[in-house]
Chains A and B, each alone.
Chain A
């Protein structure tokens, strides 16, 4: 009886473990999507959630990866920075996701960072940002300052002959850091301090009259003037409207923006803005088959004939494909294996070239300068001859110019100081 029972139990256990194993093999790879679907950032982030769902659907239709399907897990951090951290913890600890795609603002990324590092997750961050960060667990598929801001300033200086600069931004970390980098860079190039005007405005600023009139006066001093705008979000609409109303023409004072894309322009009548500039790594108007296919997919998925695509969407496209390639290369979705495998992975981008994951967890990107057209699109007027690798630590800030990041062994450090030869605290004890 007792032996019988034991055998039975043993058989049961065996059967269970076999069935469990077979389930495990077919277990889907769970992809966390951490984008705000409500609150102020919903305007930008909700499209990225849809982009991810589209990419996952497409990958599943093609058979998934390693024979496993992908399963999206969508949460809504509601534009609330602390909630981002909570939702990230929920995704990693409760939903057991294998990877997270998410965040828009730098402050939300900073909020999520400790959680991702503590629970050893993977985060793909798709938006241009101020740099000065490199985490073992984060992959930055948006542009670092040297992939957007600096080439843009070079273009204005060399091709347009700009001598006088207005650095206008929204008052938070990304514009302030970027402008600090730009200020040092311009001064290095011999621009006098009196030829640089810096202006910050709060989020959602809508009364631009006095500032635009100030810019106009600053630009009327007989030197070619340009505005470098890190103004974020919907404050841009009244800003551009005021520019148009006060008759600031792109031929006189061009405005180059780092946060204005097709999505933002879809809220404005771009007639008076024709010729103002933006610097990105992707424009919807880019003439490549990969891009046209992506637009067709997006229009079909969103069911809106006039749906627009933008740079962060391309970043997710690249990030997602890199993840898939890395999982294939590693043969597993295990976080540490993927982290190792993904360095050096190359996938096509949408502009007709390739993006490669660098050892500092940033990717290579072409830099494009586009002029706004009357149909809300950009026309590319300049691009870098080849792709530019993202630099995590800017060479133009005193605290970071000696730092490099390399997540390959044996260095395995996000902020290695090449002068002192030490890793500044952030590195985990990987060398042990």
Chain B
């Protein structure tokens, strides 16, 4: 109660500069009237009603506006009673009274009329609420409110902004508010002095204001704006370049993750496994399954799916190896066809057993959104995590292949099977373990991919071609080659995409690989020595 009362006072302070007192709570009949007006007027008229509600000083106003803007303010069809919807999924909704806050239990969708809202109103309410948040004791709240103000400052607020700026303690909030005010001054007043404040700003609203000023009749203003824009353009170009590089690395790490399991099964063992994509898919479905098992804890489920995804795919890999691949040793064409069959079986299995529809994998909070470097450059968090994860997986694999007994045995068996066996290495066991390792890593890729793409029966298909492309380009059998190839292809693709379009960019990358393979048939990092001859 205390907080909402405080908020209502702040609301009055902000919006009702002229009101000498705040009435804690308007009469319920009055409230009913306001809400009825909100429900019954057209979108154009609703804006005025929203402001009336904000100015009413009622302590419930913020709650009404918030639920209205999230489409949760509603009216009972029969009685006209206003309600706030707490849970709006399914056919029965949990509701409470908007006036008394009394929980009314479940109500059928049929009996509820939602009070309609649209983007413009949502924006208006966000503006009103951000003015309130400017006085929030929490600095982060003030900062985001100040940022939201850029480009949406209006007359009355502009008059009061200077004093708010003076009173502000935090430098960054102050800067944001100054910029918001400067945008208003350039846009509405044609203030030349304010242009200087905007020089170097990467905010899109600031750019819009400057572009408008450049077209103005006032020669001095236009010249100042043109200068300011030139410096901004320079900065923007750098940011765009950094962004493209980031996009390239992030696509590259996805390609590398998808391919690195294949680099082991195809590269090291020489098995053409067309079901590799489906092993990735299994990893992604494991993530989904984990999240079903641990509802409400998507983050924990995601972390647990890392070992689980590895295990599931590794076991599936062992099953494929034992039932199909071992019987087709040294017959690549038959292996290719058989594993292609396996891939179709796995896809249809998922379709029949789980569903042909895509499954929702929830992205945990700490993975959504982006880190803002500056206002023109933000790095999306999910991609950042995937880049990190890919590098960790790569390092782990390198460690296994170089430093462990298994790695040594794998290398021995692939170099000379007969010799390795005569040295007492159980070649069959090594085969199984290697295939399990490669498949398990595919599962890990699936866990990561579940965060950036669809989890559905076709997930694997879209990555199998790319995976082979990366492995062949990097040099069959070389993990370093796979890393470098993934990153290179990712970056080339992202460089080409903006001006060639996604379809053409993909074709150009393929043509590039074909030409490259003509020149260097063994890829970037060809295997040397006798092993390469076989």
Contact = CB atoms under 8 A, between A and B. Distances in A.
Interface of A: 37-38, 40, 42-43, 46, 160, 171, 199-202, 204-207, 209-211, 213-214, 217, 220-222, 234, 237-238, 241-242, 244-247, 250-251, 254, 263, 266-269, 272, 274-275, 287, 289, 292, 295-296, 299, 305-306, 371, 373-377, 379-381
B247 A245 contact: no
A211 B502 contact: yes
Nearest to B377: A213
A210 B506 CA distance: 13
Contact of B89 (A43, A205, A221, A375): A375
Contacts of A37: 356
Given A245-B370, A306-B89, A375-B89, A209 B119 contact: no
Contact of B356 (A42, A211, A306, A375): A42
A268 B368 CA distance: 13
A242 B380 contact: yes
Contact of B357 (A43, A200, A220, A244): A43
Given A246-B380, A275-B122, A220 B356 contact: no
Contact of B503 (A200, A206, A210, A295): A200
Nearest to A204: B462
B76 to A, nearest CB: 13
Interface string B115-142: 0111110110010000000000000000
Contacts of B275: none
Contact of B207 (A220, A234, A238): A220
Interface in B499-525: 501-503, 506
B378 A238 contact: no
A381 B117 CA distance: 7
Contact of A202 (B91, B109, B117, B506): B506
Contact of B351 (A42, A268, A287): A42
A213 B243 contact: yes
B494 interface: yes
B498 interface: yes
Contact of B90 (A46, A275, A306): A306
29 contacts: A38-B348, A46-B356, A160-B120, A201-B501, A201-B503, A202-B502, A202-B503, A204-B458, A206-B462, A207-B254, A207-B493, A207-B494, A210-B247, A213-B243, A234-B358, A234-B456, A241-B382, A245-B380, A246-B378, A267-B456, A274-B70, A274-B71, A275-B118, A275-B119, A306-B90, A376-B89, A379-B116, A380-B116, A381-B118
Contact of A209 (B123, B383, B453): B383
Contacts of B501: 199-201
B204 interface: yes
B456 A43 contact: yes
Contact of B71 (A201, A245, A373): A373
A160 B123 CA distance: 13
Nearest to A221: B211
Interface string B342-358: 00000010010000111
B368 A247 contact: no
Contacts of A221: 208, 211
B43 interface: yes
A211 B356 CA distance: 28
A209 B380 contact: yes
B105 interface: no
Given A213-B247, A238-B453, A38 B356 contact: yes
A295 B369 CA distance: 35
Contacts of B433: none
A272 B502 contact: no
Given A220-B208, A305-B90, A214 B498 contact: yes
B362 interface: yes
B120 to A, nearest CB: 8
Contacts of B116: 379-381
Given A275-B122, A375-B88, A381 B43 contact: yes
A238 B123 contact: no
Contacts of A374: 70-71
Contact of A245 (B254, B351, B382): B382
A35 to B, nearest CB: 11
Q: Which of A40, A245, A263, A380 has the most CB of B within 10 A?
A: A245
Q: Which of A42, A200, A268, A296 has the most CB of B within 10 A?
A: A42
Contacts of A202: 502-503, 506
A272 B368 contact: yes
B91 A296 contact: yes
A217 B236 CA distance: 10
Nearest to A242: B380
Given A38-B348, A210-B247, A266 B462 contact: no
A347 to B, nearest CB: 22
B107 to A, nearest CB: 13
A43 B382 CA distance: 26
Given A202-B506, A220-B207, A295-B91, A251 B123 contact: yes
Contacts of A207: 251, 254, 493-494
B91 A209 contact: no
B368 A245 contact: yes
Contacts of B231: none
A245 B382 CA distance: 8
Contact of B370 (A247, A292, A376): A247
A304 to B, nearest CB: 10
Given A221-B211, A269-B360, A292-B110, A205 B502 contact: yes
A287 B109 CA distance: 9
Given A275-B119, A306-B89, A379 B71 contact: yes
Interface in B329-352: 348, 351
A221 to B, nearest CB: 7
Contact of A371 (B119, B363, B462, B494): B119
A171 B503 contact: yes
B212 A222 contact: yes
Nearest to A374: B70
Contacts of B415: none
B55 interface: no
Given A43-B356, A245-B370, A267-B358, A287 B119 contact: no
Contacts of B368: 244-245, 272
A305 B91 contact: yes
State the 8 A-B residue pairs at the shortest beta-carbon distance, nearest first: A42-B356, A222-B208, A220-B204, A267-B358, A245-B380, A206-B453, A201-B502, A209-B247
Given A38-B356, A266-B360, A237 B380 contact: no
A247 B119 CA distance: 15
Given A209-B250, A211-B502, A296-B91, A269 B452 contact: no
Given A201-B503, A238-B453, A272-B368, A211 B497 contact: yes
A237 B254 CA distance: 17
B66 interface: no
B244 A210 contact: yes
B454 interface: yes
